[in-house]
Amino acid sequence: MDGLTAWMEKYILPVAGKIGAQKHLVALRDAFIGTMPATMAGSIAVMINAMIRDLPQQFFSDYAANLAADKGFFAVINVIIGINGFVWNGTLAIAGLIFAFSWGYNLARAYKVNDLAGGIVGLATLIQGIAFSYSNTLETAVPKELMNTINAGSADSGWSATAEGLTAGGWGWLKLDHLNGNAYFTVMIMGAISVIIFCKLMLANITIKMPDSVPPAVSKAFAAILPATIALYVIAIINYVVGKLTNGQLIIDLVQKYIAEPFLGLSQGLGAVLIVTIFVQIFWFFGIHGPNVLAPVLEGIWGQAQLINIDIFQKGYKGLTGTPAVLKAIDDGKAYMWVRGSFDAFAWFGGSGGTIVLIIAILLFSKRADYLTVGKLSLGPGIFNINEPIMFGLPIVLNAIMFVPFLVAPVVATSIGWLATYFGLVAPVSQQVTWVVPPILLSFLATGADWRAPIVTIVCMVVTFLIWTPFVIAANRMEPTDFE
């Protein structure tokens, strides 16, 4: 065990330290964190709608009909649903837009230049590369007189017709699927290019100089004009060239098709899920916050998948709403079985490693005064998934006897949660629930109020408890000095 620890200290710890200090990855992590006020507000709105619109339909066959009638009590419910819809419109529906600003802001901040201008450059980078028009054609026989009438007003209406069909088109329409979570990968790539160019030019002092008499706020804004203009023109040239080479396709669609979808597809395998789980635990064992270090992966891949699930849950899919819509979309490859919140629901109860279960095992079986003291102090925070007291108080960090269960328990729990979701024993996570919600309740809410989710979580907790307990009992035979 000492040899393994020494090997990891030599080869794993330096890598983790470099990842944790790399300014671009730190900026990316902070960019995801920066979107939380909006994404959590939107998630609350979707969750409330799930509880008052979708959940009752599972138990009352006439609930949907009563909602449609919009009378009495159900009229009030519809008002709440409508208000939540507005919250969703300004949050999760444009999550990519919000992330674009946050990414540019935090990246510029990492370079120690004008962060507000960096956010604006990131935002403008996304907007200039999305669809501004639409066109749809319906094949149907059109009488000649009707065809002539439609075509006469096509300049104003956007409608045109032939004898074989109708075409509806328009300009000035922003495609919502380019502004929501689907934009994340494009924002990460194109936003990085534009904002880094902006930052480098700022650092090279290629700016418009203003006299000292000009107020600092004005001078700061003018200094950003030239770097921002150059950066956005570079992106515009890239967008133009790609469009010419691909017969008018947009970069955001190409990135989604050839980068985002393959990455998201690979993320759904049990192997990929377990690899990330293992690395989170290894980083934590050395006192490095695993989810923070791996935030670019957890949030960039599984986080985007979760936003897509939430979006489909709210908007519906092929005439379905709620969890049935998500399940149908998963079958069609448009939604995802395992997302960021799945880790929290089925494996990270009490924090990474399922440490709330360790605390329970200590309180039941430990005879060590130091363990019992730490366990009692850690119970309150652990209920709300805050595991630093047990991590550094027991400690788990660099504690050889705790390494094996700390690594194995979440791997087993994650596997159980993944298999239960894969075989349809529990609904996939389709809500974003704040991480401080206590276990069991968290999984219930995260799966759109699926009553089976708490059962799966309890099974994972019981199995994790069985893994932790022998090591807690073994620690009774060891003196505190054995860990120093």
pLDDT digits (tens, 9 = 90+) for 64-83: 888 888 888 889 999 999 99
Residue 128 in this model has a pLDDT that exceeds 60: yes
**18 found inside a domain:** no
DSSP codes of every residue in 342-395:
HHHHHT-TTSTTTHHHHHHHHHHH---HHHHHHHHHHHHHHHTT--HHHHHHTT
Domain that holds residue 61: 35-90
Boundary residue ending a domain (173, 195, 222):
173
Confidence of residue 11 (pLDDT cuts 50, 70, 90): low
Domain end among 145, 173, 201: 173
pLDDT value at residue 100: 96
> Where does a domain end: 266, 289, 307?
266
Beta bridge partners of 159: 168
Are 262 and 203 members of one domain? Answer: yes
In a domain, 150, yes or no: yes
Element housing 335 (H / E):
none
pLDDT for res 465:
95
Specify the number of domains making up the chain.
Answer: 4
pTM: 0.79
Task: Report the alpha-carbon distance of residue 27 to residue 22 in Å, rounded.
Answer: 9
Same domain for 413 and 283: yes
Q: Please state, for a pLDDT cut of 90, what percent of the chain lies above it.
A: 47
pLDDT of residue 484: 44
27 occurs within a structural domain: no
Do 287 and 164 share a domain, yes or no? no
Specify whether 274 is located in the same domain as 210.
Answer: no
Give residue 483's pLDDT: 46
Q: How confident is the model at residue 182 (pLDDT cuts 50, 70, 90)?
A: confident
Same domain for 302 and 234? no
Query: Is the domain of 350 the same as that of 287?
Result: yes
113 & 145 share domain: no
5 domain residue, yes or no = no
Indicate if 277 and 237 belong to the same structural domain. Answer: no
**How many Cα atoms within 13 Å fall on the side-chain side of residue 387?**
30
- 295 in the same domain as 192: no
Mean pLDDT of all residues in 234-252: 94
Q: Are residues 164 and 121 in the same domain?
A: no
- Specify whether 58 is located in the same domain as 192: no
Q: Is the dihedral of CA 30, 15, 307, 104 positive or negative?
A: positive
Q: Are residues 328 and 440 in the same domain?
A: yes
